[in-house]
Amino acid sequence: MTTVDSAPRTTRVVTYLILGIVFLTLAGIGLATFRTAKSSHEARRKADRLVATLGLPAAANERIAQVLGDDGGLVCAAPNDELARSQLLATLSNGAGGPGARPVIADEQALNGMRAIIQVYCPDEADEFEQFVADLKLADTAK
């Protein structure tokens, strides 16, 4: 009795190779989906904390989760960097461009959002940021 090989060896190797690639691709997609779901859950949790801290409407938390993610996005990339501080100071200026730009006494409320974001998303940077803010001249200027 002789057995007949129904598929040549190269056909079997190619089939196994294709199936292996498909399996690895599906495993990679599953892992990426799991990580995304985990990070989006963390992003929603932190957004809920930020919404509660600032007293915002609950509808804002989905958008906050999209913008800040689970790591604070650009706000926490380097909040105590010189460039970030200069951008913050430019935001607190009078809004004029060129030679008319000058610092102003900003309202204390102007920094509440930035403080809350740093406290929720990157609390390790909060003390240094608070030291920087303590040197600013702030007052209750907004009505």
β-bridge partners, 50:
none
**SS3 assignment, position 93:** strand
Residue 6 falls inside a structural domain: no
pLDDT value at residue 127: 94
| Contact between residue 68 and residue 121 where contact means Cβ atoms under 8 Å apart | yes
Residue 41 falls inside a structural domain: no
Q: What is the pLDDT of residues 74-94, one digit of tens each?
A: 888 888 899 988 888 888 888
Q: Residue 87 belongs to what domain range?
A: 74-143
Which among 120, 126, 113 is positioned nearest to 48, based on CA atoms? 120
Q: How confident is the model at residue 38 (pLDDT cuts 50, 70, 90)?
A: low
Residue 96 falls inside a structural domain: yes
pLDDT value at residue 118: 92
pTM of the model: 0.66
Number of domains in the chain: 1
Residue 130 falls inside a structural domain: yes
Give the span between the Cα atoms of 20 and 14, in whole angstroms.
Answer: 10
